[in-house]
Amino acid sequence: MSLVAEGLACGRGGHALAADIAIALAPGQGLLLRGPNGAGKSTLLLTLAGLLPPLAGSIRYAGHDAEAGPALHYCGHRNGVRARLGVAQTLDFWAGLNGRTGLSIAAALEEVGLAGAAGLDAGYLSAGQQRRLALARLLVTRRPLWLLDEPSAALDTAGQALLARLLADHLARNGLAVIATHDAIAVPDLSVLTLGEAA
């Protein structure tokens, strides 16, 4: 699959935060969104996800087989974790909702370093562990495009290395990714789009 956005403007309440955006991502390519607080990075991700309408321009996802399911994962600031639901149950819920097209629940928890916490209520996880659980959702359902908003928030050094590895593996499988972040992401050859100063 490839992603092409042309002449794209995005904003809130009809007020444009970023305009004239051009994005072209081929299979295996990733894009970092940079820019100060309020520049519109989250707004652009929501627009690419189809959760906000573009104010101008077009977004095309070419070469995706709709019968294979939705093209993208949107992973926002919130982890989507319910305190009283177990860790494995949480992931099982998401896999049931989104499709069991990736790793098993056990394998995904192992991958993100949460195998030992599988039976705990998710509310007992630390902030970084909850973020790891949110990232595990990307693994139990395979989708070609990952839209990630501050994915490294609360992750320790090992968690950031894990995130980089998951991203590199995803891109190596011809996936695509757009990542809004203030942090360094140790994945080679990511392109960068910097949005302007906050109003």
Ligand X SMILES: Nc1ncnc2c1ncn2[C@@H]1O[C@H](COP(=O)(O)OP(=O)(O)OP(=O)(O)O)[C@@H](O)[C@H]1O
Least spacing, CB of residue 188 vs ligand X, in Å: 24
DSSP code for 47: H
Chain centroid to CA 100: 18
Least spacing, CB of residue 154 vs ligand X, in Å: 14
| 120 neighbors 162 (Cβ within 8 angstroms) | no
Closer to ligand X at the Cβ: 37 or 157? 37
Least spacing, CB of residue 26 vs ligand X, in Å: 25
Least spacing, CB of residue 42 vs ligand X, in Å: 3
- C-alpha distances out from residue 167 to 1, 17, 31, 131, 173, Å: 16, 28, 11, 15, 10
CA distance 104 to 98: 13
Least spacing, CB of residue 131 vs ligand X, in Å: 15
Closer to ligand X at the Cβ: 83 or 198? 198
Q: Where are the beta strands (DSSP E) in the chain?
A: 2-12, 15-25, 30-34, 56-62, 72-75, 145-149, 176-180, 191-194
Closer to ligand X at the Cβ: 191 or 194? 194
Count CB-CB contacts under 10 A for residue 86.
Answer: 18
Three-state secondary-structure class, residue 39: coil
Residues lying near ligand X in the complex (CB under 6 A): 12-13, 17, 35, 37-43, 180, 198
Closer to ligand X at the Cβ: 19 or 85? 19
Closer to ligand X at the Cβ: 12 or 82? 12
